Structure 1
Amino acid sequence: MNATGALGRYGEDLAARLLAEAGMTVLARNWRCGRAGEIDIVARDGDTVVVCEVKTRRASPFQHPMAALTPAKAERLRRLAECWLERTGGPPPGGVRIDLVGVMLPRRGAPTVEHARGVA
C-alpha cells in the first residue's frame, strides 16, 4: 500500500470508530459496485442505512476535507446507495442517508474527526 492509501485507510479506521461510538453499526467498508465506484463505509443508524464518504487530509492551508464533497461526488454516492439497496433487499424503514466524515491530521497532536449527517 502506498502512502496515500495508508493515509486513507487510517482515516477510514478513525471514521469507523467514530460511527461505532455514536451508536451506529458498520455493515461494510470499501464496498464496490462494479464501475460505479466504492462506498467507504456503509453503516446502520437505527433503521436508516448510512452511506458514508470519508475524506482524510494532512493539515494544510488549502482544502479542508469537509469541502471535498462536490456535486458530482454527491451524485455518485446517491447512485452507489441505490446499488447497495438493490443488492441488499431494498430500502430500510428509515431510508438512506449520505454522511461525510472529514479527518484532519495535524503535524503534531491528535487528529480531528468531524461527522456531517445528511450532506447529499
Structure 2
Amino acid sequence: MSEKNYNKIVGEKGEEIACNYLKNLGWTILERNFRYSRISEIDIIAKDNDTIVFVEVKTRTSASFGHPFEAINKNKLLNIFKAGLSYLQKTKEHYKRYRIDIISVLGKYKPEIEHLKNISLN
C-alpha cells in the first residue's frame, strides 16, 4: 500500500472516531467532507446546541512525527473559516453562532482524543 493510501485510510478512520465522539456528546453531524475549493475542505460540520461547529480532524498513529495539532497552521484555519462561510451561504441557514474546533486522534489501537474548542484565527 502506498503512503498516500495509508494516510488516507488513517485520516478516514480518525474522522469516523471523531464523529462517534461528537455524537456521544449529543451533537448532530450535519455534513462530512464539505469541499469549498480544490484546497479547502471541512472534515465535519456539526451542531452543538444552537452553534454550528466546523471541525478539523487530525489523526496520527503515533507522535513520532509530532502531535496532530502541530499540523494546523493559520492558513489552514483561514481556509476552514472561508469554507464555513461558504457552507452557511449555501445552506441559507441563519445561525447566529458558529466556531472552529480541532480534534486530535492519536494512537493506533486505543486512540486518544483531544478536543480544542473555539479556535481563534489570530
Task: Say how many residue pairs are matched.
Answer: 117
Residues 36 and 79 in structure 1, CA contact (< 8 A), matched pair in contact too: no
Q: Sequence identity of aligned pairs in percent?
A: 35
Q: Runs of 5+ in structure 1 lacking a partner?
A: none
1:38 is aligned to 41
2:116 is aligned to 116
Residue aligned with 2:38, SS: helix
Query: How many Å separate the matches in 2 of 1:30 and 1:81?
Result: 12
Q: Runs of 5+ in structure 2 lacking a partner?
A: none
TM-score by length of 1: 0.89
Q: CA deviation at 1:36?
A: 5.3
1:24-58 CA-partner distances (Å, limit 9, x unpaired): 10000111123352110000001110000000012
2:64 is aligned to 61
Note the aligned Cα RMSD (angstroms): 1.6
Query: How many Å separate the matches in 2 of 1:35 and 1:61?
Result: 29
Counting only pairs closer than 5 Å after superposition, residues 16-95 of structure 1 correspond to structure 2 as: 16-35=19-38, 37-93=40-96, 95=97
- Opposite residue 70 of structure 1, the aligned amino acid is N
